[in-house]
Amino acid sequence: MFVFWLAHSGKAIHRVYPTQGQEAFLEGHIEAFTAIGGIPTRHIRQRQPVASVLHGTTDRRRTENQRWILFRSHFGFDASTASPV
């Protein structure tokens, strides 16, 4: 299940996909942007960094997946990762 939640307005978009792969993750973002009528440009936090991050290090730095970098660069937003809830 893909969940996109806007903290300030409380609006949420939920989508169910047959897989949990990166394609579903990226498609979920596209559908969420369409549903909310735009793209938030700041403070998109990923609680499921597996689809967007290659690996973490002991000092909490992470290496982002190249497809995720291209995706967010194309849509023009910054993102950060958060620990899963």
pLDDT digits (tens, 9 = 90+) for 8-64: 888 899 999 999 888 998 999 999 999 999 988 766 666 655 556 665 555 566 677
How many separate domains does the chain show?
Answer: 1
Query: Given this model, what pLDDT does residue 63 score?
Result: 77
Under the banding of pLDDT at 50, 70 and 90, the label for residue 76 is confident
Identify whether the C-beta of residue 27 lies closer than 8 Å to the C-beta of residue 18. no
Pair of tokens at residue 3: 């969940």
Query: Given this model, what pLDDT does residue 78 score?
Result: 80
Domain span at residue 41 reads: 2-81
**How deeply is 49 buried, as exposed, middle or buried, from its count of CB atoms within 10 A (0-12, 13-18, 19+)?**
buried
- The pTM (predicted TM-score) of the whole model is 0.74
CB atoms < 10 A from the CB of 27, how many? 14
Pair of tokens at residue 22: 């990166």
